[in-house]
C-alpha cells in the first residue's frame, strides 16, 4: 500500500516536469531560430517571375501605347482638305502634269519614228512655255492648195505678220495635215515644199483619208496641246474664212471657265441608210431608227478649252472614233463635266442669191448672225483681200 502511494506521487511530479521541459524546449527553439536563421533582405530575393511579369506589363503597355499613337498618326495622315482652294490647286497640278506628260510622249514618239521635232517645241522647251490665247488648226488635205492660198490671201497673216500676231495677240494659226499612206510620196514632198515656203503647217503622225477625220481631229488636239500652252484650241475647215477679232472676242468671254465646248450646237438625225451622205455605220448604238444624235457642235468650226484638249491627249488611245468627226468629239465630251456653249454666231449660213448669182459683197460661206466667220466674199474686209467667189464650190 505504501509503495503504491509513493509511486503515485512521483508519477505526478514527473508529469509536471515533463510538461515544463517541453515548454522550455519550445521557447529555446524559438529563440535559437530567431538568432541563427535570419530572413533574407527583400532585395536579395530572386525576382525572375516578378521581373518577367513587370516586363510583360511594360511591353503590353508599350504595344497599347504604340497602337494608340499609330491610330492617332493615321488619323492625322488621313485628314483630307475639303476647301475649294485646295481642290482647285490639285486640279491645276494634275492638269499641268498631264500636259507635261503629253509633251514628253509626243517628243518621244518623234524620236522613235524618226520625225523632225518642231521648232516651236524646241523653243518652248528652251525658253519656257508662254501662254497663248488660242491655237487655230485649219483642217486641210493634199488637194486643197487653192483653199490654202485663199486663206493666206485673206484672213491668215503671212511671214512676219503671222509671227507678230503670235507674239502680240497670242494667236497661233497652222494648216493641219498628216502624211500619205506611202510616206515620202509625191504629195508629201509637195506639202514639204509648200511648208518651206510659208512655214505655216502642223504635220501630224496620221495617215490622211476622208474616213479618218475623227482620228485626225484627235491627233490634232493631242499635238497642239503638247506644242503650245493655250486657253483654247480651235478646229476649222479650210473652206471657212475666219474673222479673227470676232472669234477672239467670243472666246475671251469664257477664258475663266475650265471646261468649255463652244460651237454651233446641233442634234441631227442618225442616218442608217448606206446610200445617203453622213451614213452612220454604228447607228444601232443610238437606239431605234429615227433617233437623233446627242447635242454636239458642227464640224466647220468649234473650240475647246485646254483642260478638254489635255483630256483628249491623255486618253487618245481609248477614245472611240465614229465615222463623223463632229459626232466623235461630242461623244468624247458628253460624259464629262463640260459646259456646252451654243453660240449662234458660229453657225453656218446660206449665202443670199439674186437671179441665180451671188450678190456682190456677200459671203459665200460664213457663220451668220455675227461676223465670227466670213468666207470668200467679193469685197475687201478686215484689212485683207478676199478671193473670187466663183472659185468656192462648197456651201453650208
* 396 residues of the chain, pLDDT tens digit each: 444 444 555 555 677 787 788 887 777 776 666 555 555 555 554 544 545 555 555 545 554 545 445 444 544 444 455 566 676 677 667 766 666 666 556 555 544 444 444 444 444 444 467 899 999 999 999 999 999 999 999 999 999 999 999 999 999 999 999 999 887 889 999 999 999 999 999 999 999 987 889 999 999 999 999 999 999 999 999 999 999 999 999 999 999 999 999 999 998 888 888 888 888 888 888 877 878 889 999 999 999 999 999 999 999 999 999 989 999 999 999 999 999 999 999 986 544 333 334 344 333 344 332 445 444 433 333 322 233 333 333 333
User: DSSP states of 213-248 as a string?
Assistant: HHHHHHHHHHHHHHH-EEEEEEEEETT--B-HHHHH
The reported pLDDT for the residue numbered 376 is 41
The reported pLDDT for the residue numbered 85 is 64
Give CA torsion, residues 239, 243, 248, 249, to 10 deg: -130
The reported pLDDT for the residue numbered 144 is 95
Q: Find the DSSP H helices in the chain.
A: 2-36, 48-77, 84-113, 119-127, 145-152, 160-164, 186-198, 213-227, 244-252, 306-314, 325-334
The reported pLDDT for the residue numbered 55 is 54
Distance CA 213, CA 115 (A): 22
Amino acid at each position: 500500500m505504501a509503495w503504491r502511494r509513493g509511486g503515485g506521487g512521483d508519477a505526478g511530479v514527473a508529469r509536471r516536469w515533463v510538461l515544463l521541459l517541453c515548454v522550455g524546449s519550445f521557447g529555446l527553439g524559438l529563440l535559437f531560430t530567431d538568432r541563427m536563421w535570419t530572413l533574407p533582405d527583400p532585395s536579395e530575393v530572386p525576382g525572375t517571375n516578378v521581373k518577367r511579369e513587370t516586363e510583360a506589363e511594360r511591353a503590353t503597355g508599350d504595344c497599347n501605347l504604340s497602337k494608340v499613337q499609330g491610330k492617332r498618326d493615321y488619323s492625322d495622315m488621313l485628314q483630307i482638305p475639303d476647301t475649294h482652294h485646295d481642290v482647285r490647286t490639285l486640279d491645276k497640278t494634275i492638269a499641268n502634269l498631264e500636259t507635261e506628260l503629253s509633251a514628253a510622249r509626243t517628243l518621244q514618239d518623234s524620236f522613235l519614228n524618226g520625225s523632225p521635232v518642231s521648232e516651236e517645241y524646241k523653243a518652248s522647251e528652251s525658253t519656257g512655255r508662254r501662254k497663248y490665247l488660242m491655237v487655230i488648226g485649219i483642217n486641210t488635205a493634199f488637194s486643197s492648195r487653192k483653199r490654202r492660198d485663199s486663206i493666206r490671201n485673206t484672213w491668215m497673216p503671212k511671214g512676219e505678220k503671222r509671227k507678230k500676231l503670235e507674239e502680240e495677240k497670242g494667236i497661233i494659226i497652222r494648216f493641219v495635215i498628216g502624211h500619205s499612206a506611202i510616206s515620202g510620196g509625191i504629195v508629201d514632198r509637195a506639202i514639204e515644199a509648200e511648208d518651206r515656203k510659208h512655214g505655216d503647217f502642223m504635220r501630224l503622225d496620221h495617215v490622211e483619208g476622208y474616213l479618218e477625220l475623227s482620228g485626225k481631229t484627235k491627233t490634232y488636239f493631242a499635238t497642239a496641246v503638247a506644242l503650245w500652252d493655250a486657253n483654247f484650241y480651235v478646229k476649222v475647215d479650210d473652206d471657212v474664212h475666219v474673222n479673227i477679232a470676232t472669234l477672239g472676242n467670243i472666246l475671251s468671254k469664257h477664258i475663266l471657265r475650265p471646261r468649255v465646248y463652244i460651237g454651233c450646237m446641233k442634234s441631227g438625225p442618225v442616218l442608217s441608210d448606206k446610200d445617203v451622205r453622213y451614213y452612220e455605220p454604228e447607228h444601232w448604238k443610238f437606239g431605234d431608227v429615227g433617233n437623233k444624235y446627242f447635242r454636239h457642235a458642227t464640224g466647220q468650226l468649234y473650240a475647246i478649252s485646254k483642260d478638254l484638249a489635255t483630256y483628249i491627249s491623255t486618253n487618245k488611245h481609248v477614245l472611240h472614233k465614229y465615222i463623223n468627226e463632229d459626232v466623235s468629239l461630242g461623244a468624247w465630251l458628253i460624259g464629262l463635266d463640260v459646259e456646252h456653249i451654243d453660240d449662234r454666231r458660229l453657225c453656218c449660213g446660206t449665202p443670199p442669191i439674186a437671179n441665180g448669182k451671188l450678190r456682190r459683197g456677200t459671203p459665200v460661206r460664213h457663220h451668220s448672225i455675227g461676223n465670227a466667220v466670213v468666207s470668200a466674199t467679193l469685197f475687201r474686209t478686215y484689212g485683207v483681200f478676199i478671193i473670187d467667189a466663183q472659185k468656192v464650190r462648197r456651201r453650208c
